[in-house]
Amino acid sequence: MSGLPQYEYVKLADQIAADIGSGRLPAGAALPSERAMTELYSVSIGTVRRAVRELRDRGLVATLPAKGTFVVGSE
């Protein structure tokens, strides 16, 4: 399965998860805004949104309406 191409949102989620796992993004840290992440990672806003959803599904982040997305755990 490693020979199959990986979706961009999964790559982005994996990259952010690695930052969380390494402590670069500690518990309680806020992720950049969606717009900031589009520029930071050179991806579309749809890719950012799917990556954040993936991170929520993994239990690594939580999104608070009108507040932002925050790290809640690590892999």
Mean pLDDT by 10 residues, the chain (75 residues): 80 96 95 96 97 97 96 78
Look up the pTM and report it: 0.89
Residue 74 is predicted with a pLDDT of 66
What is the SS3 string spanning the chain? CCCCCCCHHHHHHHHHHHHHHHCCCCCCCECCCHHHHHHHHCCCHHHHHHHHHHHHHCCCEEEECCCEEEECCCC
Residue 73 is predicted with a pLDDT of 73
Residue 5 is predicted with a pLDDT of 76
